[in-house]
Chain A
Amino acid sequence: MLLATIKSALEDIGSALRMRRVWVALAQETIGDQHRRTALGPLWLLLNYLAFAGTFIFVFQRGDSSMANYPAYVAVGLLVWFYIMEVLTQSVTLFVREESFIKGTTLPLTVYVMRLFMQSVIRAGYALVGCAAILALSGIGVSAMWGWSLLGLVVVLATAPAAILIFAFLGVYFPDSQFIVSNLMRIGMFLTPVFWTYDNAGGVRHIFYYWNPFTYFLEIVRVPIIAGDVPSRSFLLCVGLGLALWAFALLLLGRLRKQVVFAI
Chain B
Amino acid sequence: MVSIRVENLRLTYRLHDKLSLAPNRPRMPTGGRLEGEGRKRSVTALDGVSFKLQAGDRLGLVGPNGAGKTTLLKVLYGIYAPTSGTVEIDGRVDALFNINLGFRREATGRRNIVLRGLINGWSMEQIEARMEEIIAFSELGDFIDMPFKTYSQGMAARLAFSIATAMEPEILLMDEWIGAGDARFQEKAKARTAQLARQAGIIVLASHSRALLAKTCNKILTLEGGTARPLQSVEEWQAAMDEAAE
Contacts and interface: CB of A to CB of B under 8 A. Distances in A.
A101 B79 contact: no
B241 interface: no
B154 interface: no
A25 B120 CA distance: 13
A33 B112 CA distance: 13
B102 A104 contact: yes
Contacts of A176: 19-22
Interface stretch (B10-18, B60-68, B218-226, B228-236): B10-18
A258 B19 CA distance: 20
Interface in B21-36: 21-22
Contacts of A106: 77-79
A180 B157 CA distance: 40
B107 interface: yes
A263 B18 CA distance: 8
A175 B27 CA distance: 14
**Which one of A106, A259, A263 has the greatest number of beta carbons of chain B within 10 Å?**
A106
B115 A29 contact: yes
A36 B81 CA distance: 38
B interface, size bucket: 20 to 34
Contacts of B237: none
Given A19-B121, A33-B104, A104 B115 contact: no
Interface size of A as a range: 20 to 34
B101 A29 contact: no
Interface string A25-57: 110010011001000000000000000000000
B20 A100 contact: no
Given A19-B118, A22-B118, A22-B119, A175 B20 contact: yes
Contact of A101 (B20, B101, B107): B101
A25 B118 contact: yes
A173 interface: yes
Interface string A153-183: 0000000000000000000011110000000
A101 B121 CA distance: 15
Contact of A174 (B13, B19, B97, B118): B19
B16 A32 contact: no
A173 B118 contact: no
A100 B101 contact: yes
A21 B118 contact: yes
Given A29-B104, A101-B101, A107-B119, A173 B77 contact: no
A200 interface: no
B195 interface: no
Contact of B115 (A25, A173, A263): A25
